Structure 1
Amino acid sequence: MSLEISTDERVELLDVTSEVAAAVPEELDAGVCTVFVPHTTAGVVVNENESRLLRDVERLLAELAPRGDDYDHDAIDDNADAHLRATLLGSNVSIPVEDGELALGTWQSVLFVECDGPRTRRLRVTTTPS
């Protein structure tokens, strides 16, 4: 299943947990849900959806891969920082499924991380029985 995600900012974290959960078949007793971002300037993580933490993540990404830091790739399209940030984040997460539901921890959410927005993106969600 493919989900469409729209962002409004260059760097933005969006909680997509409910959209991912809706893609899990109710009849799947046990398995794995994989969320994959087919883009090189966006990522996906599992963490807490708390506004101060989200700002902290944005700040960390800016510190680790600052924009305009004389990257070679910027000569092509001026977004090397977005590619580097996405590399740090990763393009996929795997979440256990139990009784047809995501088996996330109490404070865990699936977060889509835009690094080169605003854009409309896709997320691919697949489930595999175990």
Structure 2
Amino acid sequence: MIQQFQLRLPEYRRGYHLITSHIERCLKDLPEQGMVNVFIKHTSAGLTINENADPSVRADFETIMNRLAPENGPGYQHTLEGLDDMPAHIKSSLIGASLTIPVVDGRLGLGTWQGIYLCEFRNYGGSRQLVITVYS
């Protein structure tokens, strides 16, 4: 059986934001076993799973990604939508647009220190929309 949900997230500032609780609220009746796919419908934000305890992880992500794809990077041609736009597209491709998470005993099978992050790469990205598909 396949179930699908759409989830609109609140607007977040640029950075890495734990959204696990938003997704779990959307998934009230998970099967005992299965898979969940979470897909973000945007090209300037991404999704990742990483440590959910120490906030310095989020700051370090921002630092490293800004080194990999800096604003005003040399040679960017796509510049009409702002200095943060092309770097946001690059970061989105590096991080990725979807996650697949196992369902174990009716819950997301995340590890103790794992959380799902919205990676907002725009200074003013607006509300982001997710498609969540449950396979059982």
Cα gap change, 1:3 to 1:29, in 2 (>3 Å): same
State the distance in 2 between where 1:57 and 1:123 align: 22
Q: Percent identity?
A: 31
Residue 122 of structure 1 and its aligned partner are, at CA, apart by 0.7
Task: String of CA shifts for 1:21-65, please: whole Å, max 9, x gaps.
Answer: 223342511000111001000000000122100000011110000
TM-score for the superposition, normalised by structure 2? 0.87
TM-score for the superposition, normalised by structure 1? 0.90
Q: What's the C-alpha RMSD, in Å, of the aligned pairs? A: 1.4
**SS of residue in 1 equivalent to 2:89:** helix
Matched, 1:66 2:70: yes
CA contact (8 A) 1:61 1:85 kept: yes
Matched, 1:54 2:61: no
Structure 2: which 5+ runs fail to align?
none
Cα gap change, 1:47 to 1:23, in 2 (>3 Å): same
Matched, 1:97 2:100: no
Name 2:86's counterpart in structure 1: 80
Name 1:125's counterpart in structure 2: 132
Structure 1's consecutive aligned runs of 4 or more residues displaced over 4 angstroms after TM superposition are none
What letter matches 2:45 in structure 1? A
CA contact (8 A) 2:12 2:120 kept: no
